[in-house]
Chain A
Amino acid sequence: MPAQRSTTRIRLHPLGDAALLVELGTRLDTAVNTRAIALAAALKKRRDVRQALAGCASVTVHFDPEQTTHGALGSAIKRLATRRPPMDEPGRLHRIPVVYDGPDLDAVASALGLPAGRIVELHTQAIYRVFVVGFVPGWAYLGPVPEVLKLPRRSVPRTQVPAGSVAIAGQMTGIYPLPTPGGWHLIGRTSVRVFLPDSDPPCLLRAGDRVKFFAADR
């Protein structure tokens, strides 16, 4: 009985006096992420909910405490979450050109004991899922990256990473949308802009979308 099993895995935590963190799982998993996105969409339709944001395997719900309580909303969330998860409809596929000349490419190659060319092959092989958009505007957490590319973050983060940098860390890869500090390994760069401040929504990639990188000369 999968529905029941999934209920027991749901954990609810208050996030202050007007928000809840709903944990649906602890692993990076497309099915769990699909459920999170669907649950956030269902919750947004409720009158007592102000905002719901899906994480990798969770939903953060902001609600109106004059209309409901942590307990009442929590029960409703458990009921909603036991609904049969929706089919994972493949999101939009973005093909993104990358010049693989990042300042960390050689260090990544030597840390993994692979030639740089192999890093590029591996990085361009998979179709990545956008698990979450967030942290900074337009940043998309893409994954999972092939197991052999897994590396912890840099021990010393850079104070400034140029926009368009393509990076990896842990199970994830991503594109820096804005010049920001960052601790990921920079393996390449793209001319595709992922933060689109004059569009609404102001981002190219959305949760549930898919991304395929390909190597480009410039």
Chain B
Amino acid sequence: MDALRVEAAGMLATVQDLGRPNAVAAGVPPGGAMDRFAHSAANLLAGNDVRAATLECTLTGPRLVAERSCLVAITGADLDPRVNGQPAPMWAGIFLSVGDRLTLATRRSGARAYVAVAGGVVADRWLGSQATYLLAARGGMRGRALVAGDTIAAAATPGSPAVAGRELPRHLRPDYDDRVLHAVAGPHIDRLGRDGRHALFSSAFTVSHQADRMGYRLDGPALDTSGEELLSFGLTAGVVQLPAGGKPILLMADHQTVGGYPVIATVVRASLPIAAQLAPGDELRFAEVSIEEALRMRRAQESALDSLRN
């Protein structure tokens, strides 16, 4: 059932969910929402399961018109969301009436905003997921980004008034301006040498213009690895690989499934939402963290999401 009409598409808006982790054996990236925390929170605020699909809106948001009254929730990057020109609350369930215009404009913080609709966005399913994978043109809105004129369907549940107005308390929201990515030393960190390791965890890096859903190439201090070529092995989102040339690449949701460059660090799951909210030109730092601490940070995020479950 049509819920929203796309009046203007913005820079890059795609349908995403929690991805297709079981397709990696065919070389298909796990994909899905870059910021899983914001995606999940948006769904819970709209009364959905976290596995429902949402819209991931990058840097410049779309203009959406409600085709029927519906409950929505906007989380993630602050793209100055407005309903009929009036500032709209984020991290909260909000009602749209027929004809209401929801506008996401330009970035005030973060890079990717998520829009959930009660019932869940309904789009093409590919290999068990509705996540859009642009390279193969599959999943989501016919495998492509949203364009003006698209209509977004949501499963027909009457937006329950009981859910509207619920919000994620401010102290439980991620601080996207704190651009520290917690990371565990990678399998091949020894190839960096002591100075390289020190540089990795003490220097500032900048997200270059080669940054998309596959990964970010980072500018920063010169890093060099030694040692023989590696055989290809399976990768994961958060991996920081170092190709010859010394510019590290941080792998994100649509990452290559295998690779043979040395992995010098892996950003832990709790920091991936922060990484997802970086844009070209943003500065970041890596902070080494123990696995125990990484798991504690992750559990804190899980319990923040639990607070939104009934």
Q: Using a CB-CB cutoff of 8 Å, which residues 59-80 of chain A contact chain B? A: 59-60, 62, 65, 70
Stretch at the interface among B19-27, B63-71, B82-90: B19-27
Report which B residues bind A (CB closer than 8 A): 21-28, 126-127, 135-138, 183-187, 228-229, 231-236, 238-239, 256-259, 263, 266-270, 291, 294-295, 298
Which residue of chain A lies nearest to B126 when distances are taken between CB atoms in the complex? Answer: A197
Q: Are B136 and A197 in contact (CB under 8 A)?
A: yes
In the complex, are the beta carbons of A15 and B231 less than 8 A apart?
no
A134 to B233 alpha-carbon distance, docked (Å): 9
- In the complex, A197→B135 CA distance in Å? 11
Name 25 A/B residue pairs within 8 A (Cβ), A-sorted.
A14-B184, A15-B263, A16-B236, A16-B266, A17-B269, A17-B270, A19-B266, A21-B234, A53-B234, A53-B258, A54-B234, A60-B233, A134-B234, A135-B256, A135-B259, A137-B27, A138-B26, A138-B27, A139-B27, A170-B229, A178-B135, A180-B135, A197-B138, A201-B23, A202-B28
Tell me whether B127 and A51 are in contact (CB under 8 A): no
* B24 in contact with A51 (CB, 8 Å): yes
Complex contacts, B127 vs chain A, CB 8 Å: 200, 202
Within the assembled complex, what's the spacing in Å between the Cα atoms of A65 and B136?
Answer: 32
Q: Is the CB of A56 within 8 A of B232?
A: yes
Q: Mark A177-193, 1 if CB is under 8 A from B, else 0.
A: 11010000000000000
How many A-B Cβ pairs are below 8 Å? 135
- Interface mask (A147-163 → B, CB under 8 Å = 1, otherwise 0): 00000000000000000
Partner of B294, one of A17, A28, A132, A134: A17
**For A26, what are the chain B residues with a Cβ–Cβ distance below 8 Å?**
228, 231
Residues of chain A lying within 8 A (CB to CB) of residue B24: 51, 53, 134
- Most chain A CB within 10 A, of B185, B228, B258, B298, is at B258
**Do residues B269 and A136 form an inter-chain contact, with CB atoms below 8 A?**
no
Hey, which chain B residues are within 8 Å of A141, CB to CB? Answer: 232, 258
A59: nearest residue on chain B (CB-CB)?
A: B234
Give A155 to B78 CA distance when docked, in angstroms.
Answer: 42
B234 touches A17 (CB 8 A): no
Q: How far is the CB of B257 from chain A (nearest CB, A)?
A: 4
Most buried by A among B23, B232, B267, B295: B232
The residue that B268 contacts in the complex, of A13, A17, A62, with Cβ under 8 A, is: A17
B185: A residues at CB distance < 8 A: 14
**Which of chain B's residues has its CB closest to A139's CB?**
B27
A134 to chain B, nearest CB (A): 4
- New contact pairs (17) apart from A136-B135, A202-B23, CB-CB < 8 Å: A15-B266, A17-B295, A50-B21, A51-B21, A53-B258, A54-B234, A55-B232, A55-B233, A55-B258, A56-B232, A57-B233, A135-B232, A135-B258, A137-B28, A197-B126, A200-B127, A203-B26
